[in-house]
Amino acid sequence: MRAEDRALVDRFADALAAEQGAARNTLLAYRSDLASAADVMGVLGDARAEEIGKLAGAWAELSPATLARRSAALRRFYGFLVDEGLRRDDPSGSLPRPRTVRPLPRILEPSEVDAMFAEAEARAASGEPLRLRNLALLELLYGSGLRATELVSLPFRALARPEPFLILAGKGGKERLVPISDRARTAVARWRETMPKSGTWLFPGGKAHISRVRLFQLVRAMAAEAGIAPERVSPHVLRHAFATHLLANGADLRVLQALLGHADIATTQIYTHVDASRLVELVNRVHPLARR
């Protein structure tokens, strides 16, 4: 990347961090996408339409999601340059615009989740520390809808207080309330009793906390023990189950958005596919015309 382009990217990243509180990983992703575009075009800040047109061919083999993300990064970058008076025109109209279809989340039936809990509880009854840990992990994934990173990085004293919730810093450092059930609190307390009292992490592993990859492996192993195909289950699938089962049992979409930590309710609305019949019944029951 040319030195002048690198300077523009630095200004852009500084603005995102200062004005919008963009997280470090977000800034790194923007820098990576902009560097990829510069490698293709040869220029970045003062690129013209014909140079931007090179991206369509060079990025033809990218997945629609990756192409959409890179194009979005460039649109935001050029919008910043125009707003700052660093260029007069916005060339982003020449960017490739893939049509992306948001995939429906994989879900588990309540009976399958019940089977996982029954097996995990039976194995934890032995008092074996790692079995107590696995049950605590499962309770927090399904009972609270935690993201994998949020779960593995919980500090040792998490859930030590009696409040029925945690305050977590999720994506972008945004705080949200996470519900903690009595079941989860009990499971965590039983697991903590087996650990040294001077620990740093609630779920230690090696020199730090267990990794997201290790959590993924543990969840799949628990699924297999319950007779469920492991490839159908992951920490994120259990988060999806938390959301879909709440919605199916009458949870408000805005409440669900807050519990999941979604910035945009459009992200939460994907869960409405799981129980269309309930939504139709709701309209038939509460719409004014239904009472005529």
Domains of the chain: 3-94 (1.10.150.130), 110-282 (1.10.443.10)
pLDDT of 134: 96
pLDDT of 210: 93
pLDDT of 271: 61
The predicted model scores a pTM of 0.58
**Is residue 154 a contact partner of residue 164, using CB atoms and an 8 Å limit?**
no
Is position 75 annotated as part of the catalytic site? Answer: no
- The active-site residue out of 70, 220, 240, 262 is 262
pLDDT of 116: 95
| pLDDT tens digit sequence for 169-217 | 766 666 777 888 888 889 999 999 999 887 899 999 888 899 999 999 9
- The active-site residue out of 70, 133, 239, 240 is 239
- The active-site residue out of 69, 87, 190, 236 is 236
pLDDT of 124: 96
pLDDT of 211: 93
pLDDT of 239: 85
- The active-site residue out of 11, 171, 183, 212 is 171
Is position 271 annotated as part of the catalytic site? Answer: yes
- The active-site residue out of 133, 147, 185, 245 is 147
Is position 147 annotated as part of the catalytic site? Answer: yes
**Is residue 268 a contact partner of residue 256, using CB atoms and an 8 Å limit?**
yes
**Residue 122 identity:** A
Q: Which residues of the chain have pLDDT under 50?
A: none
Residue 146 gets the label, from left (phi > 0), alpha (psi -120 to 50) or beta, of beta
